[in-house]
Amino acid sequence: MLVRPRSGRVVAGVCAALANRFGVSSTLVRLLFVLSFLLPGTQLVVYAVLWVLVPSEGSERARRGRGL
């Protein structure tokens, strides 16, 4: 389940959540996210949507297992 961790956050914990989910370094995910800005696209919109949809660790929604 995709859950934004309470520790290791830089902004909202989206990159840390993706790193934890896929078993890679959060620094790598953050670097890839920053490098993605070199390409045209909607990176900030995707980040904002994930910020809203992915529950924070320890939240009621995360405890019920209704994360992504």
The DSSP-derived string for 6-37 is SSS-SSSSHHHHHHHHHTS-HHHHHHHHHHGG
* Cβ-contact 4, 56 below 8 angstroms: yes
pTM for this predicted structure: 0.77
Question: What's the full length of the chain, in residues?
Answer: 68
Q: Any idea what DSSP says for residue 56? A: B
Output the CA–CA distances (angstroms, integers) from residue 33 to 7, 28, 59, 66, in the order listed.
19, 9, 25, 25
4-57 per-position pLDDT tens digit? 888 888 889 999 999 999 999 999 999 999 999 899 989 999 999 999 988 888
